[in-house]
Amino acid sequence: MVRVALITGVTGQDGSFLAELLLGKGYEVHGTIRRSSVDFRERIAHLEGQPHFHLHYADMSDSMSLLQVIGLIRPQEIYNLAAQSHVQVSFDAPEFTANVDATGVLRILEAVRLCGLTHSCRIYQASTSELYGKVEQIPQNEDTPFHPYSPYAVAKLYGHWIVREYREAYGMFCCAGILFNHESERRGETFVTRKITLAAARIRQGKQKKLYLGNLSSYRDWGYAKDYVECMWLMLQNIKPEDYVIATGKQHTVREFCRLAFHYVGIELEFVGEGVDEKGVDRRSGEIVVEVSPDFYRPTDVVNLLGDPSKACRELGWNPEKTSFEELVRIMVEADMVKVTAEQVGEHVRTNLTEYLEKGIVK
Ligand code: NAP
Ligand code: F7E
């Protein structure tokens, strides 16, 4: 029997890697997409048209659409990855974030029950290290108290607890992965890691002068997204539904990430000054390439995340050391160097084409 999986948020970073993983394992993969005036399907473009890959319109704020998709495909596994996932944006759009990231989870659970799939469908919920927020213990494990510190984290806390409630109340196989930050060459361009690798590539190629960042001293436990989606799958193959911390067990500051990313493009940075006056200087040219802008400060910021993945290593056989921090930064920088070069080539071709058209060389 071919196993059927539904991924909400398939167009996102994790959704696209997970879809590849499940297709590779022989699953029939269904994903939800949203209507948009522009095409944001670049992460899954290479999967579209494959016979075992299907897309459906559904929105986490719309029970009927979720009920319809779940009732139609009757999945054995649901990976609920859809979310307004940007912490800073959650301060600007707190109600939308709550609707999607909190109530949206409830809509999925209820749809599964209403479709009569209570005991046949396993559900993975994308919980987050942001639940630890204003951290009460370092490192953080499954028993560390939560102290959410943004509208995003508060919404995700509801999602986390409602999954637990449905597991205990109805005996559903639903579990949450408390995932620490995981990044990749497919990471959204406004998250700090991708913002840095893209800027490093652009600055190296003369396409950008400076990079403006917020809190450079924030610590994160950064892993590679491709490794993390394997753990989501492992959690649904487990004997019992349980929640797990997924992390590398190592932490670095935003400043360290920045220094390494620039190093990989051949720019050695020296940081001078403090707070809003701190600057990243190119040692060779003496030019300031990184500056701090308070625009990127958050009303409350989570500054010390370090996960303890021992339970996942022990019980799921997961390896947190598959891709090192250095390797992750290198992968992201290399991909962005290629992307920026391709943009330049495209621009060059376009400029020449306009000139040739004007001169009548190309008709
Ligand atoms: P992402 O790249 O931002 O992807 C989010 C996905 O959710 C996109 O497919 C997006 O669709 C979809 N979505 C947003 N609002 C929706 C709505 N109202 N209805 C339906 N779909 C909606 O996020 P990610 O990094 O892959 O993360 C996946 C999940 O893990 C998220 O729940 C996130 O909160 C959580 N998480 C992420 C991390 C991390 O470090 N990456 C760590 C812990 C937890 P569009 O493409 O149409 O916008
Ligand atoms: O910020 C600091 C910022 O936006 C990381 C999401 O996937 O992981 C992600 O949330 C840190 C913060 O990720 C800039 O203040 C400095 O301390 O890359 P981020 P996040 O907030 O940790 C968690 C686990 C999730 O669940 C979320 O869905 O970097 N920072 N300067 C900056 N952050 C941004 N975005 N931009 C800056 O310029």
pLDDT, tens only, 183-201: 999 999 999 999 999 999 9
At residue 356, the pLDDT reads: 65
At residue 256, the pLDDT reads: 98
Using CB atoms within 10 Å of the CB of residue 194, give its burial: 0 to 12 exposed, 13 to 18 middle, 19+ buried: buried
Instruction: Report the Cα 117 to chain-centroid distance in Å.
Output: 28
User: Could you tell me if the CB of 251 is within 6 A of ligand 2?
Assistant: no
DSSP 363: -
User: Could you tell me if the CB of 15 is within 6 A of ligand 1?
Assistant: yes
Structure tokens, 210: 């400076």
At residue 344, the pLDDT reads: 79
User: In angstroms, what is the span from residue 82 Cα to ligand 1's centroid?
Assistant: 4
Atom of ligand 1 nearest to the CA of 82: 7
Instruction: Give the span between the Cα atoms of 244 and 108, in whole angstroms.
Output: 20
At residue 40, the pLDDT reads: 78
- Half-sphere exposure (Cβ direction) of 216: Cα atoms closer than 13 Å: 22
User: Could you tell me if the CB of 192 is within 6 A of ligand 2?
Assistant: yes
Using CB atoms within 10 Å of the CB of residue 301, give its burial: 0 to 12 exposed, 13 to 18 middle, 19+ buried: middle
Q: Do the beta carbons of residue 163 and residue 125 sit within 8 Å?
A: yes
- 308 closest CA partner among 242, 245, 358: 245
User: In angstroms, what is the span from residue 197 Cα to ligand 2's centroid?
Assistant: 14
User: In angstroms, what is the span from residue 84 Cα to ligand 1's centroid?
Assistant: 6
User: Could you tell me if the CB of 235 is within 6 A of ligand 1?
Assistant: no
**pLDDT < 50: residue spans in the chain:** none
- 122 closest CA partner among 77, 157, 75, 89: 77
Residue of 100, 192, 211 with the most ligand 2 atoms within 8 Å of its CB, for mutation: 192
What are the residue numbers of the active site?
Answer: 128, 130, 152
DSSP H or E run through 224: strand 223-224
Dihedral sign of CA atoms 50, 56, 61, 63 in order: negative
- 78 closest CA partner among 90, 60, 98: 60
Using CB atoms within 10 Å of the CB of residue 330, give its burial: 0 to 12 exposed, 13 to 18 middle, 19+ buried: middle
Residue of 150, 157, 191 with the most ligand 2 atoms within 8 Å of its CB, for mutation: 191
Q: Which amino acid is at 243?
A: D
Model confidence over 264-287: pLDDT tens digits?
Answer: 999 999 999 999 999 999 999 999
User: Could you tell me if the CB of 59 is within 6 A of ligand 1?
Assistant: yes
At residue 352, the pLDDT reads: 72
Instruction: Give the span between the Cα atoms of 241 and 254, in whole angstroms.
Output: 34
Peptide bond preceding 309: is omega within 30 degrees of 0, i.e. cis?
no
CA distances from 198 to 15, 18, 337, 348 (A): 22, 24, 8, 19
